[in-house]
């Protein structure tokens, strides 16, 4: 239903749980064909949903070992749906302490995006953390 609302000039949907009479939703998302759907969930059902409906999967507090295990499960789920990670994003928030070797390790596992913790909400600490993260970005480039 959301994909229709995001992409069709006039959307209509009649499903098991939702019934939507013809309507418009504007403005449309700028992303094409629609907003990326990033699915979470560390269960087999979560991996299946991500592979069937998603444009990616998100894992929180995932170290390299856990990420490696997840990629195997995601790849199996994607294969069952006739898909692969070529058109699928793997987004991970690693544990707080991240170093350049870890960034390289995530890259080697096929992680497309790292969302890192900033830590404290205090302005000085966030500013210092951003400097730390800048060095990781430079190392990964």
Give residue-wise pLDDT tens across range 44-100: 999 999 999 999 999 999 999 999 999 999 999 999 999 999 999 999 999 978 888
Q: Considering its fold, how many domains does the chain have in total?
A: 2
Together in a domain, 16 and 69: no
For residue range 80-91, list pLDDT tens digits in order: 999 999 999 999
User: What's this model's pTM, rounded to 2 decimal places?
Assistant: 0.81
Domain that holds residue 95: 36-140
Q: How far apart are CA 36 and CA 19, in angstroms?
A: 23
103 and 136 part of one domain: yes
Please tell me the distance from the alpha carbon of residue 50 to that of residue 37, in angstroms, as a whole number: 8
**Beta-bridge mates of residue 38:** 56
Q: Are residues 50 and 29 in the same domain?
A: no
Same domain, 9 and 76: no
Do 10 and 76 lie in one domain? The reply is: no
Residues 34 and 44: their CA atoms lie apart, in Å, by 26
Band (11; pLDDT cuts 50, 70, 90): very high
Based on the domain organization, do 19 and 48 belong to the same domain? no
């Amino acid at each position: 239903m959301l994909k229709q609302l995001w992409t069709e000039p006039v959307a209509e949907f009649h499903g098991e749980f939702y019934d939507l009479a013809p309507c418009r939703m504007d403005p449309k998302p700028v992303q094409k064909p629609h907003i990326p759907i990033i699915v979470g969930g560390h269960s087999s059902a979560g991996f299946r949903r991500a592979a069937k409906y998603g444009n990616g999967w998100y894992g929180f507090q995932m170290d390299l070992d856990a990420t490696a295990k997840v990629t195997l499960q995601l790849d199996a789920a994607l294969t069952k749906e006739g898909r692969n990670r070529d058109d699928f994003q793997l987004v991970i928030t690693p544990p707080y302490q991240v170093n350049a070797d870890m960034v390289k390790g995530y890259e080697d596992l096929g992680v497309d995006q790292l969302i890192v913790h900033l830590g404290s909400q205090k302005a000085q600490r966030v500013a210092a953390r951003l400097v730390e993260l800048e060095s990781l970005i430079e190392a990964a480039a």
